[in-house]
Amino acid sequence: MNRVQSTYSFRMGVLGAMAEARFAARIDALALKPKHVGLMLALETGGPAVQLDIARRLGVAPSLVVSLADHLEALSAIQRVRDQDDRRRQLLSITGEGRRLLGECAKLAAELDEELTEGLGEAEREALDGALRTLAARAGLPT
In angstroms, give the least distance from the CB of 83 to a second copy: 27
Nearest to 83 by CA among 122, 57, 53: 53
Contact set with a second copy (CB under 8 A): 1-20, 22-23, 34, 37-38, 41, 45, 102-103, 105-107, 109-110, 112-113, 116-120, 124-125, 127-139, 141-143
- Residue 50 touches which member of DNA, a second copy, none, C-beta under 5-8 Å by kind: DNA
**Kind plus residue range of the DSSP H or E element containing 10:** helix 8-27
Residues 6+ positions from 23 with CB-CB distance below 8 Å? 34, 108, 109, 112
Sheet arrangement for strand 78-82: 49-50, 90-94, 78-82
For position 88 contacting DNA by CB under 7 A, the verdict is yes
For position 63 contacting DNA by CB under 7 A, the verdict is yes
Positions that interact with DNA (CB under 7 A): 33, 35, 50-52, 59-67, 69-70, 80, 85-90
